[in-house]
Amino acid sequence: MPVVAGLYALRNIFVNLYYVEAEPTAGQARAAWVLIDAGLPGAASKIRRHAEEVFGPNNPPTAIIMTHAHFDHAGGLDGLLEAWPDVPVYAHPLELPYLTGRSSYPPPDPTVGGGLMAWSSFLYPKHPYDLGSRVHALPADGSVPGLPGWRWVHTPGHTPGHVSFFRDSDKVLVAGDAFTTVVGESGLATLTQKQVVHGPPAYFTPDWDAARLSVATLLSLAPQVAATGHGIAMHGDELLQQLEQLAVTFNEVARPKIGRYAHEPATADASGVRSVPPPLVSPWLKGVAVAGLALAALALAGTGKKRKKEKKAYRAPYRDNPARPVPARRW
């Protein structure tokens, strides 16, 4: 089922990607289309199968355009570019460091809390992809390659080069993760897909001031349809009312009360990440650590082993150093 005419969604476990049909031209034999985002690692085959169902076999997209390059939105690129050797990729200039192997993203922040998706975020990949010459900057004039009638809007905060896509004729918005329509930090909400306009996934958002301004920017477009990176698309008055409420109360309802980036952003430029604030270990994490040490001590006592108690420093359960780029195919 299309979200609206010419816009098709594919849910890849917990993330969405979109197929957008271009306006037909005279004498065109088959529909031209563009892919927005590339899903999780290993998703390439599923994405191609769905494309064939919608647009027919041997009909690759005109382009792949990226809202941003987090692992759940760019993971399928390697397989897609191998299958579609002539298809270019486009992203905002500030997102190119993460698609050309030059920089990892800032570390995820499990200390924001909110549920399983947030607490397990220290496991999520943050390495860059290296697409070489296959990736290009989006046109500076705001146009979208392969999609006349659409424009891209810079919506930073979740990532430095995050963009959303907007079709003015019917006010259709593909928002990426600038905001979502599910509580993305919660494993239960992600499973049930309960609809609600919500902020960007908190565990992967390193600049909350920019994220707040981006929500306000998208509200100013007065979208009638919002297709987001996480959650089911929303329409009409309910969408606008909830989006306005999010914009007005953003710092109260979306911005974490605690967290590594809650009050100090990571900084980045065209070369990638420049600085990140120090990691934060919240009181509940300290409590978990203390409880774990206590249980370990009891287990040792139960075996009859007597060892001198040693004071141990607790370390946050995620790697703070930027990950090295994994070996990737250069195109």
- CATH number reported for the structural domain that contains residue 115 in this entry: 3.60.15.10
Residue 303 makes CB contacts below 8 A (sequence gap 6+) with none
Q: Is 24 inside a domain boundary?
A: yes
> Which pLDDT score, from 0 to 100, does residue 301 have?
61
Q: Count of CB atoms within 10 A of residue 275's CB?
A: 10
Q: Is 248 inside a domain boundary?
A: yes
| DSSP one-letter string for 3-48 | EETTEEEEEETTEEEEEEEPPP-TT-SS--EEEE---STT-HHHHH
Q: Is 306 inside a domain boundary?
A: no
> Which pLDDT score, from 0 to 100, does residue 313 have?
39
Q: Is 26 inside a domain boundary?
A: yes
Distance, in Å, from the CA atom of 237 to the CA atom of 290, rounded to the nearest integer, reads 49
Q: Is 196 inside a domain boundary?
A: yes
Per DSSP, the three-state class of 225 is strand
Residue 1 makes CB contacts below 8 A (sequence gap 6+) with none
Distance, in Å, from the CA atom of 258 to the CA atom of 229, rounded to the nearest integer, reads 24
Question: How many domains is the chain built from?
Answer: 1
Residue 327 makes CB contacts below 8 A (sequence gap 6+) with none
Distance, in Å, from the CA atom of 314 to the CA atom of 230, rounded to the nearest integer, reads 33
Q: Is 265 inside a domain boundary?
A: yes
Distance, in Å, from the CA atom of 126 to the CA atom of 140, rounded to the nearest integer, reads 27
What is the per-residue burial (b if ≥16 Cβ within 10 Å, else e) of 60-93?
bbbbbbbbbbbbbbbbbbbbbbeebeebbbbbbe
Q: What is the pTM of this model?
A: 0.85
Q: Which domain holds residue 94?
A: 2-275
> Which pLDDT score, from 0 to 100, does residue 300 have?
60
Q: Is 219 inside a domain boundary?
A: yes
Displacement of CA 107 from its chain's centroid (Å): 14
Mind listing the pLDDT tens digit of every residue in the chain (331 residues)? 699 999 999 999 999 999 999 987 766 678 899 999 999 999 999 999 999 999 999 999 999 999 999 999 999 999 999 999 999 999 999 999 999 999 999 999 999 999 999 999 999 998 999 999 999 999 999 999 999 999 999 999 999 999 999 999 999 999 999 999 999 999 999 999 999 999 999 999 999 999 999 999 999 999 999 999 999 999 999 999 999 999 999 999 999 999 999 999 999 999 999 999 999 865 455 555 445 555 656 666 655 544 444 444 333 343 454 444 444 555 5
Report which residue type is found at 37.
Answer: D
Q: Is 58 inside a domain boundary?
A: yes
> Which pLDDT score, from 0 to 100, does residue 30 have?
81
Burial class (CB in 10 A: 0-12, 13-18, 19+), 267: middle
